Amino acid sequence: MSGTQVKSPVDDLTYDLLTALQNKLQALSVYEKFMKDAAGDEACQQIFRQMAQDDRKHAEMLQGELSKHLGGEGSGGTEVPKTELEKHYGGA
């Protein structure tokens, strides 16, 4: 099948939104490990906590925009779930 090109079911921008959201969600789960590794170092814990809060906010923004691109309205009422880190340390 040389020269045959398969067309993607989503456009480039929708793919970019999906990829960015996936990366943010993966980062949120990794920050939990980082927080455990930083036990006893409040400065590092604060950095990872802030990064998790920022990435969570970004994930929610991406989710809302992705919903629009996939034909939904807003975020469909589904929120990005809080990580254990955010539950334990009071992340927004």
CA atoms of 40 and 52, how far apart (whole Å):
18
Tokens of 3: 């020269």
Domain count, the chain: 1
Q: Is the pLDDT of residue 75 over 50?
A: no
Q: Which domain holds residue 64?
A: 47-71+82-92
Domain membership flag for residue 18: no
pLDDT value, residue 14:
93
Q: How many CB atoms lie within 10 A of CB 46?
A: 13
pLDDT digits (tens, 9 = 90+) for 54-73: 999 999 999 999 999 988 65
Domain membership flag for residue 89: yes
- Residue from 50, 48, 55 nearest 32 by CA: 48
pLDDT digits (tens, 9 = 90+) for 17-62: 999 999 999 999 999 999 999 999 999 999 999 999 999 999 999 9
Domain membership flag for residue 39: no
With H, G, I as helix, E, B as strand and everything else as coil, classify residue 22.
helix
Q: 86: number of CA atoms within 13 Å, CB side? A: 18
